[in-house]
Amino acid sequence: MKLKVCWMYHDIMDLYGDKGNMMVLTKRCKDRGIDIEIDTCAIGEKKDLSKFHLMFLGGGADKEQHMLIDDLLARKNNIQKAMDSNTFIFLVCGGYQLFGQYYIDANNEKIEGLKFFDYYTESGDNGKRCIGNIAIQCNLDGEEFMAVGFENHGGQTRNVATPFGKVIAGYGNNFEDKIEGFYNGKVLGTYMHGPLFPKNPKIADFVIYKSLTKEYPDLKFSDLLPLDDSLENKAKNQMLKRLHAI
């Protein structure tokens, strides 16, 4: 098996160590004998995203989102082609915001999104931010489990019909709704940094599985070779205890 990944804007969208997600994917694939190839795509680079099994776009501050938005919008048709051909898409923070309708930044400037989904993001009142460790209850294609991460965002994302999970501790998409992220079967968006995958090996494996089904449609999540996740789960459970989530 081979997993081809395109890491979008790797040079500017890497807030809070999001590159750690790619490191975890690489290790978990190699431990299973899955050949993984991580390519990158910077502003102005020509890439056909539909040729990849997984597209990853990490987080960045307002400055970085302004820097890349014209390039990202110019790729809209190609991103749609990728989604139509079952390329899985994993988005963190700023990347998650930009797949929605729009984002209004801290200076009240509007950044038009790709408008693939109905959600939108506005700044918190008086500069308030959702900051701290977070725990959520997830349901990914029937797989129920808890996940932990770290969030630090002023943006308040609303109108999310299909969230990634229910907030147990922390904030999530905004101060009020107690839901976190977005998941529709093909796209997973989240505010959870940390990075997300090291303390949540099940999510890392789920992304590997969903990405591989583009080329191996009969693959089941349970078909992935089990790995020893005792250390990772110990770290996750320690955070869940600190958050009084278990």
From 64, 2, 69, 13, select the one nearest 40 (Cα to Cα).
13
- Residue 10 designated active-site: no
Q: Is 158 annotated as a binding residue?
A: no
- Which residue of the set 10, 53, 153, 193 is catalytic? 193
From 135, 138, 141, select the one nearest 88 (Cα to Cα).
141
DSSP states of 82-137: HHHTT-EEEEETHHHHHTSSEEE-TTS-EEE---SSS-EEEEPGGG--EEEEEEEE
Q: What's the sign of the alpha-carbon dihedral 198, 203, 205, 211?
A: negative
- Residue 66 designated active-site: no
What lies within 8 Å, CB to CB, of 154 at 6+ separation is 106, 123, 124, 127, 128, 129, 130
Instruction: Kindly report the backbone phi and psi dihedral angles of residue 219, in degrees, each rounded to the nearest multiple of 5, phi listed first.
Output: -65, 140
Distance CA 138, CA 142 (A): 9
Distance of CA 225 to the CA centre of its chain: 23
- Which residue of the set 6, 41, 93, 138 is catalytic? 93
Instruction: Kindly report the backbone phi and psi dihedral angles of residue 242, in degrees, each rounded to the nearest multiple of 5, phi listed first.
Output: -60, -35
The tokens for 53 are 């099994």
Distance CA 87, CA 215 (A): 9
Distance CA 28, CA 228 (A): 10
Binding residues are: 129
Q: Hey, which residues are catalytic here?
A: 93, 193
Binding residues for substrate are: 129
